[in-house]
Amino acid sequence: MNFTIETRLSLSERDVDYFETDITKQGRLFRIVWKLLESGKWSKQSKLNTYIQGTYNVDKRTANTLIEEAKGRKKALIELKKVELSNLKTKQGLIAARIKKLKDEINEIKPKVALNVVTGKELKDYRGDKKRLFNKQQHHARTIHKIEKLEKQIHIKKFSICWGTKKLFNAQHWLEDNKFRSKAGWLNAYHRQRDNQVNYIGSIGEPCCNQNCQLSYDEALNFFQLRIRKDLELMEDENDKFFVLKGLNFKYQRDKLIELLRERSTPITVRIIKRERSKWYLQVIITWKSNPEKILTKVSDGAIGLDFNSGFIQLAETDKCGNLIGLKVHSLQYHGTGNKAESEIREAISEIVHYAIDKGKSIVIEDLDFKRKKAQTSKAKGKKGKNTTQ
């Protein structure tokens, strides 16, 4: 299982200047590598790596990181587009069914309209159905066009992408509506969104399981340290090879991270992310292999089921035969989001986990996926639940 452990960074102006420069360059190089891979001219990664090193003055590991990141995102994008295609086909079928129903209703009353023997209400419904039929036919045609375009993109594995999001890119045409005072303000926001992270992909055979970005734990100071190998263009001289961040700490899974750093049993991938205007975060991505001997609960001994609702968490307990043997409600005073609500939920979950460990029973929850349900929704609804489109 892959886990992401995050902490917020406190950076000096010098640190911020370095990461701003590095992120901008890495973002530009990533987009270049993406286009090179899409061109289909580089069948061997080693040749592409050599080309990137020589052309853009980066080391071998940086070039490999860029290539692997681009390949990983491409693979994820293909799977995402397959889900999008499935949803579009579901919508297309629903629209076609609605068109058929409207045509049947129109054809049924059309002879009476031609003879002018319909009531005022029937005539109004007839004209409304014709307008709805036209709109549905246009929607159906657009959906088919999207399906054909998406099928072609998936087949050739080339996609229309707007880095930085299409929504923010189009905001340049309506600056005031999107709360931008000038084109320069929009451009700064777009660049922040487009270039907001740098990745250092780890490998189990490298020093500290990551050649370019090494995380270590100082037992004497009881803190973590991050040593980043500088980009060749950002070195002031031949001795200026590393950028070091000290005094780092993690609240979540801290002990497990220390254990993995000692064992060096998993690749440690590091990501530096900038959020909003000045918030910087460090993410450490690790692979956690579970040890069967350390598993404290078993489904064979029974299970504890949870149902999360607004205002409470319902707990149901079963024995090893599946018989219900207990119910308990954990009330939640604070609804919605916020620090108090989050703290309250954490306390409730902690109590439930300790109870499950004490009983030796695994916790089970619903795995809800509303993507297909959402795709089947053909009519949008307003705040009061009334249909706003036909």
Q: What is the CATH number of the domain that holds 321?
A: 3.30.420.40
Let me know whether 71 and 116 are in one domain: yes
Can you tell me which residue has the tokens 């809800």? 368
- pLDDT at position 376 is 63
Tell me which DSSP letter residue 208 carries.
Answer: G
338, part of any domain = yes
Cβ 336 vs Cβ 310: under 8 Å: no
Let me know whether 242 and 344 are in one domain: no
Q: Torsion over CA of 367, 370, 349 and 358, rounded to 10 degrees?
A: -10
- pLDDT at position 237 is 73
2, part of any domain = no
Using alpha carbons, list the distances in angstroms from residue 247 to 8, 158, 227: 12, 44, 12
142, part of any domain = yes
114, part of any domain = yes
Cβ of 224: how many Cβ atoms within 10 Å?
Answer: 22
pTM listed for this prediction: 0.72
Burial class (CB in 10 A: 0-12, 13-18, 19+), 69: buried
224, part of any domain = yes
Let me know whether 255 and 345 are in one domain: no
**Of 253, 270, 288, which closes a domain?**
288
* Sheet containing strand 242-248, strands side by side: 213-218, 223-229, 242-248
DSSP bridge pairs for 387: 381
Which domain range does residue 243 map to?
A: 200-288
Let me know whether 321 and 253 are in one domain: no
The whole-angstrom separation of Cα 267 and Cα 286 is 6
389, part of any domain = no
Closest alpha carbon to 11 in 272, 288, 380, 335: 272
- pLDDT at position 373 is 65
**Of 271, 288, 305, which closes a domain?**
288
- pLDDT at position 126 is 94
Let me know whether 275 and 324 are in one domain: no
Let me know whether 89 and 154 are in one domain: yes
Let me know whether 298 and 280 are in one domain: no
CA 145 to chain centre: 27
The whole-angstrom separation of Cα 146 and Cα 91 is 11
Cβ 367 vs Cβ 305: under 8 Å: no
- pLDDT at position 235 is 75
Do the strands 279-287 and 269-275 form a parallel or antiparallel pair, or are they unpaired? Answer: antiparallel
Let me know whether 311 and 272 are in one domain: no
Cα-flanking dihedrals φ and ψ of residue 298, to 5°?
-140, 135
Domain count, the chain: 3
Please report which residue ranges of 317-363 form alpha helices under DSSP H: 339-359
Let me know whether 84 and 150 are in one domain: yes
- pLDDT at position 346 is 84
Let me know whether 317 and 277 are in one domain: no
Burial class (CB in 10 A: 0-12, 13-18, 19+), 40: exposed
Let me know whether 139 and 211 are in one domain: no
* pLDDT in single tens digits along all 390 residues of the chain: 778 899 999 988 988 988 998 899 999 999 999 999 988 888 889 999 999 999 998 888 889 889 999 999 999 999 999 999 999 999 999 999 999 999 999 999 999 999 999 899 999 999 999 999 999 999 999 999 999 999 999 998 888 889 989 999 999 999 999 999 999 999 999 998 999 999 888 888 777 888 888 999 998 889 999 999 887 777 777 777 888 899 999 988 888 889 888 888 888 999 999 988 889 999 999 887 766 666 778 788 889 999 888 888 889 999 988 899 999 998 888 766 677 888 888 888 889 999 998 988 999 877 766 666 666 665 544 444 444 443
Let me know whether 155 and 230 are in one domain: no
311, part of any domain = yes
226, part of any domain = yes
- pLDDT at position 85 is 95
